[in-house]
Amino acid sequence: MRSGAIAQKIGMTRVFTDAGEHVPVTVLHLAGCQVIAHRSMDKNGYVALQLGAGARRANTVSKAQRGHFALASVEPKRKLAEFRVQESDLIPVGAEITADHFMVGQFVDVTGISIGKGFAGPMKRWNFGGLGAAHGVSISHRSHGSTGGRQDPGKTFKNKKMAGHLGVERVTTLNLKVVQTDVERGLILIEGAVPGHKGGWIRLRDAVKKKLPDGIPRPGKFRMPEAATPAQAAATQETAQGDSAAAKERT
């Protein structure tokens, strides 16, 4: 199980295939997605990576959070998220995940907060059919009709589908294909629509219902901060690969 990534939704556009067909895509930007901390089995009871993305002013961060980011030697982040991984797929703290972490053609699951629609009626919110256009129906064609029985049960059950607030919910869309990646600009183009508004934060992960393609990078594609020398970055990469091999031998 590899780590996912935190991206920011830029908007939608389209790309053309070699056959001339256009494919609608959503553009996601990896805004400095870095590893902030590790979660270990001995200390936390599970193995995971804590990632952070997006810039944030230091004066808007609490003292405790500033200390947390200082341990990882990274700038304060706007968005944090955890991804469960195998011990062999841990990425070094401080590493920045790049766009080629996901391969072109692979499937991913994306999670975001849906766009808020305000107060909506039952036809828009629950896809109700509405009432009849004639036969005595007056000024209530889009209403939901009866909400409960008469004397039995004599009440409206909980969770009855009625008019109410629509949107601003956590939504996960499965099995979206990666169409294109741009490592230099940190862009990932996903086929189809992604939940959320422009500028919203999206969580990407490998599709749980699809097989990973051959040649997928393990534990992932990343680069160390610019402050690190090429020799240090290479040593860190070798250490990560060594840890992955050792973990595989233990399992």
Q: Are residues 123 and 78 in the same domain?
A: no
pTM of the complete model: 0.81
Together in a domain, 81 and 140: no
198 and 158 both lie in a single domain: no
- Supply the range of the domain harboring residue 161: 117-166
Confidence of residue 241 (pLDDT cuts 50, 70, 90): low
Percent of the chain with pLDDT over 70: 90
Looking at the fold, whether 145 and 229 belong to one and the same domain comes out as: no
Provide the pLDDT for residue 136.
85
161 lies in the same domain as 173:
no
pLDDT of residue 150: 82
The string of pLDDT tens digits covering residues 25-81 is 999 999 889 999 999 999 999 999 999 999 999 999 999 999 999 999 999 999 999
- The count of structural domains within the chain is 2
Contacts of 62 (CB under 8 A, 6+ apart): none
| CA–CA dist 190, 199 (Å, integer) | 16
Last residue of a domain, one of 132, 149, 166: 166
Residue 126 has pLDDT above 50, yes or no: yes
Reported as a pLDDT band with limits 50, 70 and 90, residue 250 is: low
Give me the residues paired with residue 56 across strands.
Answer: none
What tens digit of pLDDT does each residue of 77-101 get? 999 999 999 998 999 999 999 999 9
Distance CA 228, CA 235 (A): 10
| Interval 210-239: pLDDT, tens | 999 999 998 989 998 875 544 444 544 554
- CA distances from residue 15 to 18, 23, 79 in whole angstroms, order as listed: 10, 5, 29
- Which pLDDT score, from 0 to 100, does residue 231 have? 47
- Helix (H), strand (E) counts: the chain: 4, 13
In this structure, what DSSP letter does residue 153 have? B
Q: For 3, left (φ over 0), alpha (ψ -120 to 50), or beta?
A: beta
For residues 181 and 235, membership in a common domain is answered with yes
Of 166, 181, 202, the residue that ends a domain is 166
Residues 182, 106, 20, 8, Cα dihedral to 10°: -40
Tokens 């999206």 map to which residue?
202
**Per-residue pLDDT for 243 more than 60?**
no
Other residues' Cβ atoms within 10 Å of the Cβ of residue 123: 16
Considering the domain architecture, whether residues 122 and 201 belong to the same structural domain is answered as: no
CATH number, position 86:
2.40.30.10
Q: What is the pLDDT of residue 238?
A: 53
Q: Are residues 77 and 178 in the same domain?
A: yes
Q: What is the pLDDT of residues 105-124, one digit of tens each?
A: 999 999 999 999 999 999 99
For 153-203, write each residue's pLDDT tens digit. 889 999 999 999 999 999 999 999 999 999 999 999 999 999 999 999 999
Instruction: Report the greatest alpha carbon distance in the chain.
Output: 81
Same-domain check for residues 68 and 34: yes
Asked if residue 90 lies in contact with residue 39, where contact means CB atoms within 8 angstroms, the answer is no
Instruction: Please indicate, yes or no, whether residues 149 and 26 belong to a single structural domain of this protein.
Output: no
pLDDT at 10: 96
